Structure 1
Amino acid sequence: MHGHTPPNALNFNGTNNFVTFPYSPAFDLVDGTIEFWMRPNWTPGSNGQNPCVLGYRNGFAATRFSVHVEDNLSGIGIWNDISYQVRPFAFVQGTWYHIAVVESGSSATCYVNGVSIGATANGFNTALSNAPLTISWSNDPLYPNEYFRGEIDEVRIWNTVRTSAEINANLNSEINLPQTGLVAYYRFNQGVAGGNNAAFNTLNDLASCNIGTLNNFTLSGNTSN
């Protein structure tokens, strides 16, 4: 049984809130692991499209990877510009979950709260480079409703294939630095939860210098902050 009570997390309104990161060669993953905590908070089926948690993408036909939650909260979806594949899982609106996507070769094994829910047959699309990284937006005008509604916390991007034991060892805590293979780490601990955070319009990277820009957030109160 896993729980998550973050000191801070970033709330996304599901309409136009997103974080962007300029291109970095560090995100040109061949194999690697993407981890994050999320609390999806939308009525199942209300978006019409599958919200994107994190993506390396520049339009529909230019995607290295993007990680989605199914609109009806029924699984994790992986898009790599070649195919969109889903691993089923019954998420509950308003509940925190730890997600890890371990991509190795032509497969992506998905973990929920440290337990594997199986693998898709689509890994990173290594043919694509020089695209921005985004959180809570797919960066694709063909899919304008893929904004994530809810909270996101503790995003970690590794250029190594993490084992189940490694994922579970660090699942419920912040990690000490430095860590071999950790190319980006976002704790979302800036500012005060629910307070006036107008002074904080960037997202710090504790592993390197891949700093993100917050877009369209009110940065005050319990939502869009």
Structure 2
Amino acid sequence: MPRRRTQDRPRGPGSGLRAWVVVLLSVAGCGSTGPTEEALPLLDDSPPPPQGDGALAFDGAAHYATVGTAGFPFGLAAHTITLWVKPRRAAGDETLVALRKDYQSGVQLGLQDGVPTAWRVYARRPYVSASDPLAVEVWHHVAYVYDGAEHHLYVDGVERGTGTLEPNNRTSTGGWLGSLDGERWFFQGEMDRVRVWSEARTPEQIADDVAGGDPSSEALVLELSFDETDELRAYDRSGRRNHATLGDGFPEWAPERVPSDLPSDLATD
């Protein structure tokens, strides 16, 4: 089956599933003189209770997921991306999280020969990068923070790089996990606890995230824990309903659901 890439289009809460549907009914024999409007109930796309402790495993060749971007910040505004990753290799360019508007604007957080790096989507210039590659087959916490003036990159709770390149200035309308666009820069490894905030998290808050603290905040716009059994959907638990679709709904492109072996007693050094 040829690859069909998701189109870069605005994604509302729950990828549009919460829209009201209005049906015009022609009523005959009921005393009606014309069509009437009947509003159907909203589809329930609220997250189910967590079921176990899961993660996603990406094959580095075809697997990816897409996410909604309701409430995501303007490109020049403060924002934070955090996640846990267990890479399988330290070679080539790999995407962890990409938040973008077409290819005109956005941020791509990933690995370059295993080194955590954040790039501008347009022209793909690096905002900030660490100095050392991540050890493979080991869980690492990676955090990218833009505070409105500087870019900061943290690995396992420790700041590993800063930069001042002006970011792209458009609001993201598409979110991707494990690939830039479903066609290239695929990630090989496992991923868990993907979060996005519309604020710059402080070093203390990043350390708390590493230690397993509560991420709750009015600025939290995406929280994916992958702790459900729905094979092709991962639920956003931030309240924004920015749910993820695995592989655009095609099983052959969907990352595998696996039990998470992320340690439960995480703490910073």
Structure 1-normalised TM-score?
Answer: 0.78
CA contact (8 A) 1:36 1:154 kept: yes
**Corresponding residue to 1:165 among 190, 204, 219:** 204
Q: Which runs of 4+ in 1 moved over 6 A?
A: none
Counterpart CA distance in 1 for 2:70 and 2:215 is 23
SS at match of 2:204: helix
Alignment partners' CA distance in 1, 2:163 and 2:156: 18
For residues 139-150 of structure 1, what are the structure 2 equivalents within 5 Å? 139=181, 144=184, 146-150=185-189
Name the Cα RMSD after superposition. 2.4
Shift of 1:182: 0.7
Distance change (3 Å), C-alpha of 1:16 and 1:27: farther
Aligned to 1:12: 58
Q: Which residue of 1 aligns with 2:236?
A: 205
Q: Which runs of 5+ in 1 are unaligned?
A: 1-5, 192-198
Would the aligned equivalents of 1:202 and 1:214 in 2 still touch at CA under 8 Å?
yes
CA distance in 1, matches of 2:86, 2:189: 5
Letter in 2 for 1:175: D
| Deviation at residue 133 of structure 1 after TM alignment | 0.5
The alpha-carbon deviation at position 140 of structure 1 amounts to 7.3
Which residue of 2 is the match for residue 136 of structure 1? 178
- What do residues 88-124 of structure 1 show as CA deviations (whole Å, max 9, x unaligned)? 2231111110011111224210000110012122354
Q: How far apart are residue 209 of structure 1 and its match?
A: 0.7
SS in 2 for 1:167: helix
Correspondences of 1:182-221 after superposition (within 5 Å): 182-191=220-229, 199-207=230-238, 208-215=240-247, 216-217=253-254, 219=256
8 Å Cα contact 2:118-2:144 kept in structure 1: no
Counterpart position of 2:109: 67
Q: How many residues align?
A: 199
Summarize deviations over 1:159-185 as a string: whole Å, max 9, x none. Answer: 1111101111221326264x2311111
Separation (CA, whole Å) in 2 of partners of 1:181 and 1:22: 16
- Residue identity over aligned pairs, in percent, reads 19
Q: Which runs of no fewer than 5 residues in structure 2 stay unpaired?
A: 1-51, 248-252, 260-269
1:196 match? none
- The one-letter amino acid of 2:225's match is R
TM-aligned CA distance change 1:176 to 1:166, over 3 Å: closer
Q: Which residue of 2 aligns with 1:181?
A: 219
**Aligned partner letter, 1:68:** G
**Normalising by the residue count of structure 2, what TM-score does the alignment of the two structures yield?**
0.66
Residue 3 (structure 1) aligns with: none
Q: Secondary structure at the match of 1:35?
A: strand
Bigger Rg, which one: 2
Residue from 103, 117, 141 that aligns with 1:76: 117
